[in-house]
Structure 1
Amino acid sequence: MYDLISQNIADIEPAAAAAGSQELGQETSIVRDDELLDAYSDAVTRVADLVGPAVVRVERVVQKGHGGMGSGVVISPDGLVLTNSHVVEGAKELRLTDSEGRSMEARLIGEDSDTDLALVRAGAARHLPSAQLGDSKKLRRGQLAVAIGNPLGFESTVTAGVVSALGRSLRARTGRLIEDVIQTDAALNPGNSGGPLVSSRGEVIGINTAVIAGAQGICFAVASNTAQYVLSQILQHGRVRRGFIGVAAQTVAVPRRHARAAGIDNNFGAMITGTDPNGPAQAAGLMSYDIVVRLDGEPVTGVDDLIRMLNGDRIGRSVEVDVVRRGQLRSFKLRPAERQAAKAA
């Protein structure tokens, strides 16, 4: 009998030890999860405390009794505010309200509808809390992203998620592609537009601009590096300068036999469908049905490429345009002018 009891105890002890070990493992797991959640909460709280005071409500008055509202972020203590172009569009008056409820008049310095960005200055504002623009090129998928804004009129709302994807392209209301857009699942709603998307370091990595209607967790922000470029252009020129060669074009496939005959690798190009009578392209000899395949040696695979390459640096200087005309590669020299509003290329 003693041997039987001893055997039973011997069988029970390892099982009890294993159970105890399992419980200990569960407790350890719970502790670790709690620690992770605390670290996540601390990160979001720290970002909200650091950047929240720099986020403002932007109200526009289009006509008496009518207007709209969005968000903005103060990027310098003297009152420079970044927001969306569509937030300030058509405004007769602009008013900013900070996180403490203080209201101030503002004026539009400049906007760029092609990237949906605008720069506003708060009137008579000094020593405002401000946020710092980060380097969006250093972002990685999966890292923490915090959005701060005024969705649907709810002041200083904080939502958090991750950087879902990088390098997206988004069609602006002008029809031009906004390059290098950040995709995030941090919840955005009407009123978040123009507010900051912030990294765990408290740096503004994007300006929230759009959501996909009917979708969940698919939101977009214009990258901070794009915002930095637009900001510098507006401060220097009052606008973003882009080149214009005076053509209407569409993206088309380059016939394989023409590509082989011309010695190019393009599967697609930008076919000219019309030229401005007073434009650089017509003066240089470009014609309808020419397919643009290179600009200064860089491949052009469609209209979006052509528009993107015609940046401010090419205004007024000679550029080489390679086209396929009747199966032959031909080159032309021209000088892009500055593009005015509502002109394509």
Structure 2
Amino acid sequence: MVRSLTVLRLFLCGYFAVILWSDLCEASVRHESATVRAVKAARPSVVNIHGHKTVRQSRERGVEEEPRRVNGMGTGVIIDERGYIVTNHHVVEGVHQIRVTLASGRITTARLIAHDLETDLAVIKIRSDTDLPTINIGTSSDLLPGETVIAVGNAYGYEHTVTQGIVSALHRSVQVSDSQVYDDLIQTDASINPGNSGGPLLNVDGEMIGINVAVRVGAQGIGFALPVDQVMVVTSGLMSIANLENHWHGLTGKVQAGNTVKKFEVDSVANNSPGQKAGILTGDVITEVAGIPIERALDLERSLLGRSPKEHIKVKIIRNKKPLTLQFALSQHSSKREPVTNDRAWQLLGMRLMRVSEAKVQRTNPRYRGGLKVVSVRPSSHAAQQGIRRGDVLVGMHIWETISLENVSYIINRKDLKDLQPLKFYVLRDDETLYGHLPVSPR
């Protein structure tokens, strides 16, 4: 009898424990809103950045400034499992030792890899013996005013602070100092405080759709973030193998975003480049390089970092809806390529060109993502006769709306060039977009 009662008690205890656990699980699920799930997905890839820098502060008018040490803080986002982190340049500028705290609590040091002053973006790197969690990257191309967004960051030094708001407006320009102007920003009423700079702005799917950059001093409920599409373009340049390792692949491309997937479509292949030698063609969709899925230019650069020019790299593409696998080998980047392109452009078109940043172009016209500044025009050349002037920004030619030196090289080295002319072109002058048709032949 006693044994039966004991068994019954144990059974009842187990029964009620299961019920209690079930109730707790249901309560947990009820509390797990879309915002909670988004934060849980993104949080492991968000890091806190801190350090100190020396600034100069004027005590009185006419008195020499004296140096003063101040503590700095900010936020960053892991974009590559090997420890590459994107943040704002002002967060790490002048910092004597960049210290990074991971979501796991581990504290380590970082080094500055590259930065872009105009967009205030920087890439830093930490060492790690294991792969680190990376952020899921969304798109800012389809954002709508009123859409829910979430900011995560090191606000006032309080790690992983989460705030929620909406997209208040798009395409804002903000001047925060005499030397810093942000263009094409996302405006949000999610609280973005000092220390949030460099942290992610998320959508409800936990995807990064912006990098928090600025707050309006004295205003409540007004913060700003760089759109992630712009961040990806700049970061792919900062992390390019040409910039970091002096290697070259000769490919440019654009993201084709579908309903569920993003595809990286090749839009130019430089003449005599590794890409051309591998058999890659304009219009090919690159799906995988060295086992790494490719959705954007940044993925391509990440997949090639650390590869030697002699290494054979497997590239998977889709051409005319059919999958193909090619072999690819990098080459050393030559600083002579741009002058060669410019010499031929001078000969055939009558102008010399220089790269100009996306941010600078977008201050004139947000529609364009970059271009080439005309630094000189040869008198009586085709360019001169079409009215192109020194200082114009070439933003389109032939089939490319945003032109690059690689595009120009591809066009003027084509065997069927005479069949393509006259080439339609677009230039920005002041706040106007002008177009014309450019013959191509030596004059």
TM-score normalized with structure 1 length: 0.60
Residues in 2 aligned to 1:54 and 1:163: alpha-carbon distance in whole angstroms: 23
Equivalent position to 1:169, from 169, 173, 176: 173
Letter in 2 for 1:51: A
Q: CA offset at residue 80 of structure 1?
A: 1.4
Does the alignment pair 1:186 with 2:190?
yes
Q: CA offset at residue 222 of structure 1?
A: 0.4
Q: CA offset at residue 85 of structure 1?
A: 0.9
Q: Which residue in 1 is equivalent to 2:155?
A: 151
8 Å CA contact 1:292, 1:321 repeated in 2: no
Q: CA offset at residue 332 of structure 1?
A: 11
Residues in 2 aligned to 1:313 and 1:171: alpha-carbon distance in whole angstroms: 32
Residues 176/312 of structure 1: CA separation in 2 closer, same or farther (3 Å cut): farther
Residues 97/294 of structure 1: CA separation in 2 closer, same or farther (3 Å cut): closer
Please say which of residues 207-216 and 92-101 is displaced more in the overlay: 92-101
Q: CA offset at residue 127 of structure 1?
A: 2.2
8 Å CA contact 1:322, 1:332 repeated in 2: no
Matches within 5 A, 1:180-259: 180-236=184-240, 237-238=242-243, 243=355
Does the alignment pair 1:69 with 2:73?
yes
Letter in 2 for 1:118: A
Q: Which residue in 2 is equivalent to 1:90?
A: 94
8 Å CA contact 1:322, 1:330 repeated in 2: no
Residues in 1 aligned to 2:227 and 2:133: alpha-carbon distance in whole angstroms: 22
Equivalent position to 2:50, from 56, 59, 63: 59
Residues 292/127 of structure 1: CA separation in 2 closer, same or farther (3 Å cut): closer
Can you give the 5+ residue segments of structure 2 that lack an aligned partner in the other structure?
Answer: 1-28, 55-67, 245-337, 339-353, 357-362, 364-372, 413-424
Matches within 5 A, 1:97-136: 97-124=101-128, 126-136=130-140
* SS across alignment from 2:156: helix
Whose relative contact order is higher, 1 or 2, with alpha carbons under 8 Å and at least 6 apart? 1
Cα deviations across residues 19-67 of structure 1 (Å, max 9, x unaligned)?
xxxxxxxxxxxxxxxxxxx989712211121111211111234359544
8 Å CA contact 2:374, 2:391 repeated in 1: no
Can you give the 5+ residue segments of structure 1 that lack an aligned partner in the other structure?
Answer: 1-37, 245-250, 252-278, 299-308, 334-345
* SS across alignment from 1:127: coil
* SS across alignment from 1:228: helix
Residues in 1 aligned to 2:191 and 2:239: alpha-carbon distance in whole angstroms: 31
Residues 292/112 of structure 1: CA separation in 2 closer, same or farther (3 Å cut): closer
Residues in 2 aligned to 1:323 and 1:204: alpha-carbon distance in whole angstroms: 34
Q: Percent identity?
A: 36
8 Å CA contact 1:60, 1:87 repeated in 2: no
Equivalent position to 2:39, from 35, 48, 51: 48
Q: CA offset at residue 195 of structure 1?
A: 0.5
8 Å CA contact 1:115, 1:172 repeated in 2: no
Cα deviations across residues 120-175 of structure 1 (Å, max 9, x unaligned)?
11123532222111111021111110000011111110000011112223347575
* SS across alignment from 1:189: coil
8 Å CA contact 2:374, 2:394 repeated in 1: no
* SS across alignment from 1:230: helix
Matches within 5 A, 1:16-35: none
Letter in 1 for 2:73: M
Does the alignment pair 1:281 with 2:272?
no
Residues in 2 aligned to 1:313 and 1:118: alpha-carbon distance in whole angstroms: 24
Q: Which residue in 2 is equivalent to 1:260?
A: none
8 Å CA contact 1:194, 1:209 repeated in 2: yes
Residues in 1 aligned to 2:78 and 2:169: alpha-carbon distance in whole angstroms: 26
* SS across alignment from 2:141: helix
Residues 98/41 of structure 1: CA separation in 2 closer, same or farther (3 Å cut): same
Letter in 1 for 2:37: R
Please say which of residues 150-159 and 89-98 is displaced more in the overlay: 89-98
How many residues are paired up? Answer: 250
Residues in 2 aligned to 1:109 and 1:170: alpha-carbon distance in whole angstroms: 27
Decide which structure has the larger Cα Rg and report it: 1
8 Å CA contact 1:78, 1:127 repeated in 2: yes
8 Å CA contact 1:291, 1:323 repeated in 2: no
8 Å CA contact 2:374, 2:393 repeated in 1: no
8 Å CA contact 2:377, 2:390 repeated in 1: no
Letter in 1 for 2:46: V
Q: Which residue in 2 is equivalent to 1:273?
A: none
Letter in 2 for 1:208: N
Task: Please provide the CA RMSD for this pair.
Answer: 4.1
Residues 311/169 of structure 1: CA separation in 2 closer, same or farther (3 Å cut): farther
Residues 162/296 of structure 1: CA separation in 2 closer, same or farther (3 Å cut): closer
Report the structure, 1 or 2, having the larger helix content: 1
Residues 199/283 of structure 1: CA separation in 2 closer, same or farther (3 Å cut): same
* SS across alignment from 2:123: strand
